[in-house]
Structure 1
Amino acid sequence: MQPHKIVSREEWIEARKLHMAHEKEYTRARDRLSEERRALPWVKVDKAYLFDGPNGKLTLADLFKGRSQLVVQHFMFAPDWNEGCKSCSFWADGFERITPHLAARDTTLVAISRAPLSKLDAFKARMGWTFDWLSSAGNDFNYDYAVSFTPEQIKSQAKVYNFGTSGFGVEEAPGISVFYRDEAGNIFHTYSCFARGLDMMNATYHYLDLTPLGRHEEGLPYPMDWLRLRDQYKPEA
């Protein structure tokens, strides 16, 4: 880290106020972006999907739990994996306790993975999570929403991820998809995001962004190389 200039409290306040002006510019730009996102066109979901849940088979409509909005966290967990993706788990630790707040605003959040329900339940218990986690092992949901890829797609290095802007080297990828259900029961796909689009949903990263060292991922083999499952860090001294 480069040495920082040490100044008086008064000088620091002036520098901070200048930076705050830039923060306000970003806030206003983010508000405009959110408004534009809400105005995007929708796609009607006509395909039927059945998911495996703790109490049996569930349709996409069932996942709403009577609410009008559904957020799906595409959690990387392939059928032959023994544990979930550490990066997706990093996000899951952040959204674990927010579901009641979302429900108060007519929104349900669930996680969906291709691994069988037995593996999801076991990993969920290990991590101490309580959010709803469904298995899409018996349907094409993950493939239709571009977070699972066939061996042929991976081998060809086809640009199949993030709306055709990049390839993905493994069979599972992270993402978030949003759906709306109207009073007649019609379901619409309204939004999806992938890659760095997921960034703003990770509170830990944004707390780190407030610190002098930031995310401190420079020089690592890849940005999240430092990350571990929550129960795999060395005990604190």
Structure 2
Amino acid sequence: MSPHDLTPTGIVSRDEWLVARQELLTREKELTRLRDALNARRRALPWVKVEKAYAFDTLEGRRTLAELFDGRSQLIVHHFMFGPGWEAGCIGCSFAADHIEGTRVHLEYHDVSLVRVSRAPLAEIDAYRKRMGWQVKWVSSHGSDFNYDYQVSFTPEEIARGAVTYNYATANVSIEDLSGLSVFYRDANGEVFHTYSTYGRGDELVDSTYMLLDMTPRGRNETGPHHNLMDWVKRHDEYAATK
């Protein structure tokens, strides 16, 4: 299909279009109210105290999970798919990281720290971070249980048995690392609590490119073999090579 080969569902007058648009607006408002209610239920979830002493390799040295809060009370962890020995980080996670990057300063001034965590060694992570030009703190959980405990990394034995738990269900996966977002809270006593995690399409709302594409006539236009972002997204420094 050529870029200009798109058939509209109908051609109408401006007045007729306004009627259809107002009908859609009613549904959009319903979704907005539903999303507000869902967000309230998310915030009302009970918490789980983090008992294990996790430690991470950072550019500033070894840091505990509590230290990743950087003095703030809330922490968002982007579980970024980047395993030891990989040549580059996951394309989908890189797509998400491009969008998240611009939120950092706003989050930090709203009592929220943001970090990326991957299993790759710190030197491999930092080389890719510099290539991408990102500033968000990115740490390594190499040698730690963190990724496994928060169900974004899996052992070869688990994969072979088909006993992987991902997105709160048993799943068949073929790779050792998947993506997600996890949220933590640190109280005045320094105790850390896990409050929320989301996986799969649950982290899609951070990808504002999708939100904009959803407004366009073609939408996401993911018509390739995967029917997802793997059909078209590239790392942001790779698009020029395709022209």
Q: Decide: shared fold, TM above 0.5.
A: yes
Instruction: Spell out, residue by residue over 1:169-197, the C-alpha distance to the aligned partner (whole angstroms, 9 max, x if none).
Output: 21000000000000011100000000011
Is contact 1:50-1:138 (8 Å) kept? no
Instruction: Work out whether 1:82 is the aligned partner of 2:80.
Output: no
SS state at 2:234 partner: coil
Instruction: Work out whether 1:115 is the aligned partner of 2:120.
Output: yes
Instruction: Spell out, residue by residue over 1:155-180, the C-alpha distance to the aligned partner (whole angstroms, 9 max, x if none).
Output: 12224111124332210000000000
- Gaps spanning 5+ residues in structure 1: where? none
1:135 corresponding residue in structure 2:
140
Deviates more, 1:150-159 or 1:45-54: 150-159
Instruction: Work out whether 1:176 is the aligned partner of 2:181.
Output: yes
Measure the CA separation in 1 of the matches of 2:61 and 2:138. 12
Root mean square deviation, CA, Å: 1.4
Q: Under a length normalisation based on structure 2, what TM-score does the superposition of the two structures give?
A: 0.94
Q: 1:226 aligns with which of 219, 226, 232?
A: 232
Measure the CA separation in 1 of the matches of 2:173 and 2:203. 16
Instruction: Spell out, residue by residue over 1:75-120, the C-alpha distance to the aligned partner (whole angstroms, 9 max, x if none).
Output: 0000121210010000000011211101121100100000011011
4+ runs deviating over 3 angstroms: 234-237
- Gaps spanning 5+ residues in structure 2: where? 1-5
Percent identity over the alignment?
Answer: 53
How many residue pairs end up in the alignment?
237
Instruction: Work out whether 1:61 is the aligned partner of 2:55.
Output: no
SS state at 2:197 partner: strand
Deviates more, 1:51-60 or 1:158-167: 158-167
Judged with a 3 Å threshold, the aligned counterparts in structure 2 of structure 1 residues 4 and 99 are, in CA distance, closer, same or farther, namely same
Q: 2:217 aligns with which of 212, 215, 219?
A: 212
Q: Under a length normalisation based on structure 1, what TM-score does the superposition of the two structures give?
A: 0.96
Is contact 1:157-1:169 (8 Å) kept? no
Instruction: Spell out, residue by residue over 1:111-161, the C-alpha distance to the aligned partner (whole angstroms, 9 max, x if none).
Output: 000001101110011001010000000211000000000001111222411
SS state at 1:18 partner: helix
Measure the CA separation in 1 of the matches of 2:67 and 2:7. 53
Instruction: Work out whether 1:11 is the aligned partner of 2:16.
Output: yes
What amino acid maps onto 1:94 in structure 2? H
